[in-house]
Amino acid sequence: MEGGRPRTEVGFETLRQAHGSRLATLAGRRLTRFAVVRFIEDGDWFADCPVVLDFDGVQVEVCHRKLDELSIGWDTIDAAADIAGWEWFELTPQWSQRDERLEPFVGQELREVALLEWRPAGHDLAAGTVAVEFAFAGGCLRIVNGLDENRIEVGAAQPDYVRHRLG
């Protein structure tokens, strides 16, 4: 993404040290807007691109890569700008402010942010991946590793997540 300066981290402790205290300071702010990338041609979500959430002027950019990498950026992406450099791609990506999973949270005050570590009982390729959870009065929103892309989940987290509160 133009303007984005992703730095990827792997593992809960590394992410907590790099971003935990700053994520915790988002509590008490309202989600004022969000942006995701969709294709102009069919409207499908491009899950490889960051999910951008703006909390009263503080923007956090969350993007999962590979099987275990997570990038959390701060105020680096201009979601109003055109996305350049995709001429080789068969579809045209564009920032969008519509997503049925995120829209219900706009205007709500953020109660808490947590990092969730995937720890299933048995062998699992995704073990150790980290999700970012945003808890609002109206429910929880998580951006999780969809094994080399983002996945957005709402509601209660799966029981195989170990929840690490921040702050």
Per-residue tens of pLDDT for the chain, all 167 residues: 455 556 787 778 888 998 999 999 999 999 999 999 999 999 999 999 999 999 999 999 999 998 889 999 999 999 999 888 777 678 899 999 999 999 999 999 999 999 999 988 888 878 789 999 999 999 999 999 998 899 999 999 999 999 998 87
The pTM assigned to this predicted structure is: 0.92
Q: Which of 22, 54, 62, 25 is nearest to 153 (CA)?
A: 62
Q: Determine, yes or no, domain membership for 2.
A: no
**Taking CA 74 as the corner, what is the angle to CA 72 and CA 14, rounded to the nearest 5 degrees?**
35
**Into how many domains does the chain fold?**
1
Find out whether 117 and 126 touch, Cβ atoms under 8 Å. no
Q: Determine, yes or no, domain membership for 95.
A: yes
Q: Determine, yes or no, domain membership for 1.
A: no
Burial class from Cβ neighbours inside 10 Å (0-12, 13-18, 19+) for residue 113 reads buried
Q: Determine, yes or no, domain membership for 3.
A: no
Which residue range is the domain that position 47 belongs to?
A: 8-165
CA distance 40 to 44: 8
